[in-house]
Structure 1
Amino acid sequence: MAMMEEILPTRGYSIPLVDLDGDEGRHVVVDREEGQYLGHVSTQLLEDGKTILAVYPKGHGRGPIVYKRSTDGGRTWSDRLPTPENWATSREVPTIHRVIDPKSGAKRLIVWSGLYPARLAVSEDDGSSWSELQPVGEWGGIVVMGFVERLRDGTYLAMFHDDGRFIASKNQAANPRVFTLYQTFSHDGGLTWSEPGTVWSGSDLHLCEPGCARSPDGKSLAVLLRENSRTRNGYVIFSDDEGQTWSPPRELPASLTGDRHTMAYGPDGRLFISFRDTTHDSPTKGDWVGWVGTYDDIVQGREGQYRIRFKDNKNRWDTTYPGVDVLPDGTFVVTTYGHWDEGEQPYILSARFTLDELDKRAGLRD
Structure 2
Amino acid sequence: MTSVNLKYKPLGAYLIEAGIVNSVQIDLALNEQQLSQRRLGEILSGWGWVEQQTIEYLIEKIVLPEQQTQNNKFDDSEINLYRNGSEFGQESLAIVPDANAISLLNLNTPFRKLEFIVSARKAARFLLTVVTVLVLLSLIGQFNHYFLPDYPFRELFAQLTNVDEEVNFPTLYSASALLISSALLAIIAYAKKSNGERYVQYWSALSIIFMILSLDEFLGLHEKVIVPLRHTLKAGGLFYYTWVIPGTIFVLICLLSFMRFLAALPVKTQRLILIAGSVYIGGALGVEMLDGYYAQMYSNDSMMYSILTTIEEFMEMLGIVILIYALLSYISSFMKGV
Q: Identify the TM-score tier after normalising by the shorter chain.
A: under 0.3
Higher relative contact order (CA 8 A, sep 6+): 2
Q: 1 or 2, which has the higher strand percentage? A: 1
Larger radius of gyration: 2
Q: 1 or 2, which has the higher helix percentage? A: 2
Give the structure-2-normalised TM-score: 0.22
Give the structure-1-normalised TM-score: 0.21
